[in-house]
Amino acid sequence: MKEFLRNLHLNTGFKRRILMHRITEVFISSFITPHRLRLRPVPLASLATNPDTQIVLTNLPMNRNDSPYDDVAPVCLLAVSKQARRVLEIGTCRGRTTLSLALNLPSAAIVTYDIDPNAGAYLRGHPLAARIEMRVKDIHTDVARLRSEPPYDFIYVDGDHMGENPRRDSELAFSLLAPKGMIVWHDYANWGWALGLNTVPETLAEFARTRDIVAIERTVLAAYQGTA
């Protein structure tokens, strides 16, 4: 019983800290950093080559950290509408988005990287996993291999969002992109400023000085469409 009460107290304290953190985040994003999201907002349909594109989603979110369908669906819609043949994902995590990409792009080569050897939990034993090449390593240690391969026509950048990492990932993505390819970034969102947990908005504002990077309305995604 004592143990139970001690745990209950710890849990309540933890919940209180999370709540305070959330309240602080809302305060900061509303009053201190609303200017962070400066990319030109466009509707999802304006980026899709075919607005009638249909997709199927797989794997219900099982974990509170799983990407919600609000994120997975637009990523898949864009990849399918672009008829992507070579897809690269930076950051597999459990592999929910990866599986949906594989499901919707039956003839595409799908390569996904994660530095964490425990990543890809949803891929293990899944029938679609045979079509996914998961590379368990820091993507920045595999640049020579990536450059020796054909370029990618759809790249989903969803790795580490802290500090310099979004800039490094984005530079790599631009260097691996096929001429008319598309890059989509996750977490283009106004959170994590105070602790430097999410530098995606600042990174993309910097890249947008020389490239037409847009925010996808009503999502936490940003996108770049190659024109060359």
Q: Where do contacts with ligand SAM occur on this chain (CB under 6 A)?
A: 67, 89, 91, 93-94, 96-97, 113-116, 119, 138-140, 158-160
Q: Which residues pair with 111 in a beta bridge?
A: 88, 133
State which residue, 25 or 89, has the beta carbon closest to ligand SAM.
Answer: 89
In this structure, are residues 110 and 129 in contact, taking their beta carbons and an 8 Å threshold? no
- CA-nearest of 68, 110, 119 to 91 is 119
Which 8-state DSSP code applies to residue 29?
Answer: I
Beta carbon of residue 209, minimum distance to ligand SAM (angstroms, whole number): 24
State which residue, 9 or 162, has the beta carbon closest to ligand SAM.
Answer: 162
Beta carbon of residue 2, minimum distance to ligand SAM (angstroms, whole number): 37
In this structure, are residues 145 and 133 in contact, taking their beta carbons and an 8 Å threshold? no
Beta carbon of residue 27, minimum distance to ligand SAM (angstroms, whole number): 24
Beta carbon of residue 11, minimum distance to ligand SAM (angstroms, whole number): 25
State which residue, 166 or 181, has the beta carbon closest to ligand SAM.
Answer: 166
In this structure, are residues 204 and 163 in contact, taking their beta carbons and an 8 Å threshold? no
Comparing every residue's Cβ against ligand SAM, the nearest one is 91
d(CA 16, CA 70): 28
State which residue, 12 or 175, has the beta carbon closest to ligand SAM.
Answer: 175
Residue 213: Cβ-neighbour burial (10 angstroms; 0-12, 13-18, 19+) = buried
Show the tokens assigned to 224: 């770049």
Which 8-state DSSP code applies to residue 168?
Answer: H
Beta carbon of residue 111, minimum distance to ligand SAM (angstroms, whole number): 11
- CA-nearest of 197, 167, 191 to 33 is 191
State which residue, 87 or 215, has the beta carbon closest to ligand SAM.
Answer: 87
Apex 156 CA angle, 60 and 158, nearest 5: 75
Beta carbon of residue 187, minimum distance to ligand SAM (angstroms, whole number): 7
State which residue, 32 or 195, has the beta carbon closest to ligand SAM.
Answer: 195
CA distance from start to end of the chain:
67
